[in-house]
Structure 1
Amino acid sequence: MNRTTVVGIPARDEERTVGAVARAADAGLHLAFPRGTNVVVLAENGSTDGTVRRFAEAPLRARKVVASSPGAGTGKGTNVFAIIDRAVELDADRVLLLDADVRSTEPEWVGRLADAVAGDEPALAVPSYRRDRFEANTTNHLASPLLAAVYGVHVEQPIGGEFAFNRAFLERAATWSRPDSAYLYGIDVWLTANALREHVRVVEVPLGRKLHNSPFPKILRLPQQVLDSLFHVVLTTDRVRPPGAGVPRARAAVDGAAVRQDPAVVARVSAAVGRYLDVHLADVRTLFPAAGEVGPAPWGLRVTAEEWPHVLADAVAAVAGGRFEAARDHLVALYVNRVLTFWEEIDGLSGAEVDRLLDRQAARTVAAVQARRVELGGAAGPREFDVRRWAGFDDEAPVPA
């Protein structure tokens, strides 16, 4: 039987890397499915550079498709949904997503991801790879521990970007409500959280190292969008689930190589968070009792590995109690302080020691949320997503992307 495989590349202004990603996708498709119908879809929204031209110039054996949308008000999720729409039109059997800014994409990723979603039951493949210790902050301190705490499943890279899913997953995902933030950077956690909510099979696929453009300059808007989508899914979940059976495998996610973030960008972000807390600190301490005793630090607040799990538990309780937007946005401010504290905590630690610290933090988050006995189902999230709260404190905050 001739099967159709779609590799989708969501992009905006990625002319430097999109051609190499497309060529790796094509090589991987030819290796894994030499007699299949293979399609590479570039979904881009408002690119102002040569992204589309670079993709068009890439010599591919697979069929090329370009799906373009305006830039204003759109983001990564807009592109992913465009890829999904093209896959449905093509009657695809499986869909893979490869981020356009990755410099370490390997052709073998295609076969590994596709194999993980083989079968007739809905399945989602997510990546497992080694990352710079100063990156993956939203993953390490928000998405992964919160998903473990609510769904009882430890997923190392739930917002990694290199995903795959089969036709049955596409059909299931078509029934899920899409909050506005899912059209932005909330898309990855929207896919993973909904899969866990509906007990869909989620497979972690080792992909080696990930090298890409640092997401740190987006540290105010990206986690806000991720939390918005995650909290929407949490509120449609029946209950906080107990930890899954068995002991989660120890992570091996921290790479040996590391590059510190630009001090100027760190200083700007810290200043923006300071302005936010100057206005909202009283409400932050009310909504997050665990943050009431955190001490000062040169960057603002010292939020330690012992305190952070209880802050996350406060957030889950606040969302369930109807304080969705305040919990989301206040948590972003505390999260930035947690990241900067974390960087101090890991100074001098080996990669394995950093991994163990993150594993302990996730396990403590699970225990803290379980201890709260949070009741879900009694609140609803906002109908619209508005980035202005954080844009008002970040002088350089752009239109969401």
Structure 2
Amino acid sequence: MTRNSGVTVVGIPARDEERTVRGVAEAADAGLRLAFPHGDNAVVLADNGSTDGTVARFAGTPLRARKVVARSGREGTGKGTNVLAVFDRARELGADRLLLLDADVRSAEPGWVGALAEAVDGDEPVMALPCYRRDRYEANTTNHLVSPLLAAVYGAHVQQPIGGEFAFNRAFLERAATWERPDSAQLYGIDVWLTANALREGLRLVEVPLGRKLHNSPFPKILRLPQQVLDSLFHVVLATDRVRDAAPRGSGLRQAVDVAAVPQDPAVVARVADAVGRYLAAHRGDVLALFPAARGLVAAPWGLRVDAGVWPELLADAVVALSEGWFTSARDHLVALYVNRVMTFWDEIEGLDGAAVDAVLDRQAVETARAVAGRGVELGGRVTGPGAFHVGHWSGFNADEPARGLAV
């Protein structure tokens, strides 16, 4: 489907993505030509402190669309800084629609542009989210934290709520400008901040099948990325009036697990497991007090066995702790338990085909919703989260984490 008028912007948030940014920009430009051959098109690179040739590589890529570069410093910034800079430029350009493509994607296709853009046609605020097949050893924060928690709080089973390849219409951009931003929305919390706020306000979400996604594995960031994501999600949850429908229905699009799979680097896995083990040893009493469901966990080669039966109860424990004012402790202790869930999950799905793995994830989301519904959680602004983001209890346990916790 082609459109002949209006302003369309594709934003590419980036830091140190010299190897892949050209391909993403070219795919965006080709997609804009196909979908909007007579439109006013722009590709915006938002870069915060790249130390490689990301900006030069983008600037040297021939595009028919206008090229715009938005730059910010590295200190105290993250992915969210870039996304929000793209939002600002899109509004300045009078965009009728904005699309986001991650700079590290190796599988971006021109057809993504038209498919995402078509999904956000209309005058009411609308957000398009991707549905794609992922390596079973990836998408861990999505599969085990964000999707089940969104199902539990908002009754919405969203397959890729933090996928990165999003689209918005002008009305959504205007609405998002009014939302309160925690510090973590400047970091990896940006995607869930957008999705959760849209669900909180009852805005329309459209899931768009995009095929496969290949990009750089986020697993080395598993101790800081989910902490930032949970921080933003917890802020939005606390601003929510109540826990919604406890029986979410699937979108019917789920084919999330790809046939291709590459296990994570054993050295990285070992380093992460060691950090989590030290963290849990130091905070054992506090963890067991806030997470009663953890009292029956048994040892496993990677630390603790957190199986599909207990994980929904642990997520429900986290929501209860959050609602009672234990924001930082609930966030940080949940990250440690989550890493053990991820490694247990890898063991559980050994030998399963993609459909069976999808079924495990679907049941996990539904059971989390049931567990939270059974706790009688009260929201509605009774408590609030901290004003600033910091690494909290993880200080000293994650060698990869900057002291201030404000970097990608």
**The TM-score by the shorter chain falls in which range?**
over 0.9
- Distance in 1 of aligned mates of 2:250 and 2:162: 22
User: Which of the residues 190, 198, 201 maps onto 2:201?
Assistant: 198
Q: Does 1:111 align with 2:114?
A: yes
2:317 and 2:400 mapped to 1: Cα distance? 30
SS of the residue corresponding to residue 339 of structure 2 reads helix
Which one of the candidate residues 140, 150, 164 is aligned to 1:147? 150
Q: Hey, what does 1:256 align to over in structure 2?
A: 259
Query: Which whole-Å CA distance do the structure 1 matches of 2:319 and 2:223 have between them?
Result: 20
Match in the other structure for 1:6: 9
Deviations 1:130-154 (A, max 9, x none): 0000000000000000001000011
Task: Kindly state the Cα deviation for residue 72 of structure 1 after the two structures are TM-superposed.
Answer: 1.1
Q: 1:393 aligns with which of 390, 394, 397?
A: 397
| Deviation readout 1:289-332 (Å, 9 max, x if unpaired) | 11110111111110000000000000011100100000000000
Contact kept? 1:101, 1:212, Cα under 8 Å = yes
1:205-250: CA deviation from partner (whole Å, max 9, x where unpaired) = 0000000000000000000000000000000000000146756536
- Paired AA for residue 194 in structure 2: L
Shift in Å, 1:342: 0.4
Aligned-partner SS, 1:126 = strand
Deviates more, 1:388-397 or 1:361-370: 388-397
Aligned-partner residue type, residue 401 of structure 2? A
**Aligned partners of 1:153, 1:245: CA distance in 2, in Å?**
5
Deviation of the 1:53 alpha carbon: 0.7
Query: Is 2:296 the partner of 1:296?
Result: no
Change (3 A) 1:263 1:198: same
Q: Report the Cα offset of residue 2 of structure 1.
A: 3.3
| Superposed CA RMSD | 1.1
Q: 1:391, CA displacement in angstroms?
A: 4.0
**TM alignment of 1:189-268, pairs within 5 A:** 189-243=192-246, 248-249=251-252, 251-268=254-271
Tell me how far apart the structure 2 counterparts of residues 336 and 293 of structure 1 sit (CA, whole Å). 17
Partner of 2:52: 49
Q: Give the counterpart of 1:339 among 334, 342, 345.
A: 342
User: What are the equivalent positions in structure 2 for 1:60-75 lying under 5 Å apart?
Assistant: 60-75=63-78
- Looking at structure 2, the residues matched to 391 and 97 of structure 1 have their Cα atoms a distance apart, in angstroms, of 32
The amino acid that maps onto 2:15 is R
Aligned residue number for residue 380 of structure 1:
384
1:314 correspondence with 2:317: yes
Once the 2 structures are TM-superposed, how far is the Cα of residue 394 of structure 1 from its aligned partner? Answer: 1.3
Q: How many residues align?
A: 401
Contact 2:247/2:366 (8 A) holds in 1: no
2:283 is the counterpart of 1:280: yes
Alpha-carbon shift at residue 397 of structure 1 (Å):
2.4
Residues 158 and 251 in structure 2, CA contact (< 8 A), matched pair in contact too: no
Deviation string, structure 1 residues 109-134 (Cα, Å, up to 9, x no partner): 00000000000000000000000000
- Deviation of 1:338 (Å): 0.3
3-state SS of paired residue (1:208): strand
| Partner of residue 271 from structure 1, selected from 271, 274, 282 | 274
Which consecutive unaligned segments of at least 5 residues does structure 2 have?
none
**Amino acid in structure 2 at the alignment position of 1:319:** L
Does residue 137 of structure 2 align to residue 134 of structure 1? Answer: yes
Query: Among the aligned pairs, what percent are the same residue?
Result: 72
One-letter amino acid of the counterpart of residue 394, structure 1: N
Contact kept, 8 Å, 1:78 with 1:183, in 2: the verdict is: yes
Q: Runs (4+) of structure 1 moved beyond 4 Å?
A: 244-248
In the TM superposition, what are the counterparts of 1:319-334 in structure 2 within 5 Å?
A: 319-334=322-337
